[in-house]
Structure 1
Amino acid sequence: MARAYIGGRGQAATKSTSFVDVEEYTIDEALETFILSKEAEGVRSRTIEEYRHYKRYLKMFLEEYQYKVNLINGLSAKIICEYIIYLKQTKKAYEGIANREKESAGLSVNTSNIRLRTLKTMCNFGFKEGIIQTNPVSNIKLVRDDEQKEVQGLNDEVLNKLLSQFDTREYAQWRDKVLILLLLDTGMRINKAVNLQVSHIDLKLLTIHIPSETAKNRKGRDVSITREVGKLLQELHMEISNYFGDCEYVFFNAYGEPFTADAFRRRLNRKNDKMG
């Protein structure tokens, strides 16, 4: 806790002189205050979890580069610029995550900017609330991408080659293929697709309802599916129900537990490596 003297310039301390306690927040406290405010606003738990990851990434950088910065007011524009350079040139994607860590150093421009935007949002909040005395990100710009690389789609030949790799006699591979066909059919995000509930599927109208509480823009909507994909989803759910009883969800692992997006990504990456 820092103590600030409030009084007339050159005046001796009198009864009218006062001392005001100015609270100094640690980086942890300041960023956690921001996160708690977002929880109070009703931000989704997944987003809150990501905020905590971004807080941890910043602290790891400060520790790795031996910055003896504990208070949020010690976080300067110079440190943040060095953090950006670290993300662009040194940090490895998925570092510490088995089977996903990249050999090459440096995160993509998009990933770097996601982390930077979150840090800017946190600092702007802290400055507005009086937690930070000087906003260190006020003049920090997002990372520019001069190459403007376009994401390449998969052509029919590659997709057919991928789909032919799955042995549908095996449950896990059949489930993965159905999930891929669902993603291709609807454009759903993987996290939404693996959490698909059977009650959200309308086989008569051939639609899938995405509730407002799970939609990214908080607007519920219906997406169309083909009859073929609808039939596959129905067959997959029946298969699971026969083994594990009445199930609310469509996608499960072989142990009757909910199938996760990360598990699907790992399996798909293994297919990708096998295909070259």
Structure 2
Amino acid sequence: MSEKPRKAPVRERKGKSLIKSRNAATSSAANIFIKLTFKEALELFVNAKKAEGMRPRTISDYYKHMEWFQRFLSEFYPDVKTIQQLTADIIRRYINYLRDERNPYAGNQAREKDTKGLAINTINIRLRTLRAMCRFWTEEDYLVENPMAKIKPLRKDTIDDMTGFTEKELKALFSVLDTRQYSNFRDKVIMLLLLDTGIRINELVNVQISHLDVKRLTLTIPAEIAKNRKSRTIPVSRKVMKLLLELHEENKQYFEPTEFLFLTAYGDQMLADTFRRRLWKYAEEAGIERATPHMFRHTFARDYLLAGGDVFTLQLILDHADIATTRRYVQMDENHVKEQHQRFSPASKYLK
């Protein structure tokens, strides 16, 4: 009887995988010996993120954050030219520099202040970018060790940037707008839409006329402009919708046809940073110490609940994946707490 053909020895299959593993290991080891400048390393990182579908604005932020980091290195560590020279101690020195020494508006004569140090949230955003880069370089074997591995985000105070505007501050802001000017009228509409819907400023500047449903009084934020890449539809009050349509009509009179609602004085699509700068000027004129687009979002969230709205609906409108985030948005001061207590205390109906 002839013997059945034997199966290929297992050791042969293992041998092939061992060869493959050795080749991969050799390739990885070769990467470690490649000295990359920060510019070269950034391009590798950006190319990978573009392949993952990262948005252009995020890519732009990567370049800005690296530029700021390299400015720090050129001033304090001029000999550090490659990512392989990066250490945890250098990054900690960078954090201290951002917190204690960096002027928030250095180089901007209109806004430059004597105060030093960036906001904790701003520092953590820059660290998040650096953390993502270092992790990528380590995983791709350009770094032996990740210098960001033991660097933690800065802790925030409980009373942080989660506050909104007071009624007095909002009245002061609107009072300085001369709506006879197109730019002031446009900015008023922006403020009112922010206040009416809690929309993010980066979503707002991408709103098009086709996103509005006048009959249903809704605004649809398509997935391509939404922060979380999920489409959502939010209600708009009748008066604000009317102003949006009025702005669109003025756009058609002054500029070339465009779908975008919010335009510059030259007819180009408005940028979020442009509105931030203009809002700062309005705040200065109105005597308000601090004003950011995101404060309108917090104001909307707070006042929505104070008016009787429920937190679950608010979560959907604000596009929060976690309701804990929605709760953090709602910072009530002492006056708001007292007001709500007076309105809703169970004891009040028994006291006459």
- Range class of TM-score, shorter chain: 0.7 to 0.9
Aligned counterpart for 1:227 among listed residues 210, 235, 238: 238
Within 1, Cα distance between the matches of 2:157 and 2:184?
Answer: 40
The aligned amino acid for 2:282 is K
Superposed, which structure 2 residues align to 1:57-206 within 5 Å?
57-146=68-157, 148-149=159-160, 151-206=162-217
Structure 2 vs 1, CA of residues 73 and 274 (structure 1 numbering), >3 Å: closer, same or farther?
same
| SS of structure 1 residue aligned to 2:233 | strand
| SS of structure 1 residue aligned to 2:234 | strand
Within 1, Cα distance between the matches of 2:38 and 2:185?
Answer: 47
| SS of structure 1 residue aligned to 2:81 | coil
Runs of 4+ in 1 over 4 A off after TM superposition: none
Unpaired stretches in structure 2, ≥5 consecutive residues = 1-25, 288-352
234-243 or 262-271, which deviates more? 262-271
Cα deviation, 1:190-228, whole Å, max 9, x if unaligned, reads 222122210111101111111111111111111110010
For 1:7, the equivalent position in structure 2 comes to none
How far the C-alpha of 1:51 sits from its partner, in A, is 0.6
For 2:280, the equivalent position in structure 1 comes to 269
126-135 or 262-271, which deviates more? 262-271
For 2:298, the equivalent position in structure 1 comes to none
| SS of structure 1 residue aligned to 2:176 | coil
Contact 1:73/1:134, CA 8 A, preserved across alignment: no
Going by fraction, where is strand more abundant, 1 or 2?
A: 1
Structure 1 or 2, whichever has the larger Rg, is 2
Structure 2 vs 1, CA of residues 89 and 147 (structure 1 numbering), >3 Å: closer, same or farther?
farther
The aligned amino acid for 2:199 is M
The aligned amino acid for 1:229 is V
TM-score, normalization: structure 2? 0.69
55-64 or 190-199, which deviates more? 190-199
Structure 2 vs 1, CA of residues 98 and 49 (structure 1 numbering), >3 Å: closer, same or farther?
farther
For 2:255, the equivalent position in structure 1 comes to 244
Cα deviation, 1:39-68, whole Å, max 9, x if unaligned, reads 111100000000111111111111011330
The aligned amino acid for 2:149 is S
163-172 or 221-230, which deviates more? 163-172
How far the C-alpha of 1:247 sits from its partner, in A, is 2.5
Q: 2:62 matched to 1:51?
A: yes
Contact 2:176/2:285, CA 8 A, preserved across alignment: no
Within 2, Cα distance between the matches of 1:161 and 1:81?
Answer: 41
Within 1, Cα distance between the matches of 2:113 and 2:59?
Answer: 26
Structure 2 vs 1, CA of residues 248 and 144 (structure 1 numbering), >3 Å: closer, same or farther?
same
How far the C-alpha of 1:150 sits from its partner, in A, is 5.5
The aligned amino acid for 1:109 is I
Unpaired stretches in structure 1, ≥5 consecutive residues = 1-17
Going by fraction, where is helix more abundant, 1 or 2?
A: 2
How far the C-alpha of 1:129 sits from its partner, in A, is 1.0
Contact 2:203/2:227, CA 8 A, preserved across alignment: no
For 2:44, the equivalent position in structure 1 comes to 33
Cα deviation, 1:146-195, whole Å, max 9, x if unaligned, reads 56435332122322232232222222211111111111011112222122
Higher RCO, 1 vs 2 (CA within 8 Å, ≥6 residues apart): 2
Within 2, Cα distance between the matches of 1:194 and 1:86?
Answer: 33
Contact 1:236/1:250, CA 8 A, preserved across alignment: yes
Structure 2 vs 1, CA of residues 139 and 214 (structure 1 numbering), >3 Å: closer, same or farther?
same
In the alignment of these two chains, the number of paired residues is 258
Q: 2:37 matched to 1:23?
A: no
For 1:256, the equivalent position in structure 2 comes to 267
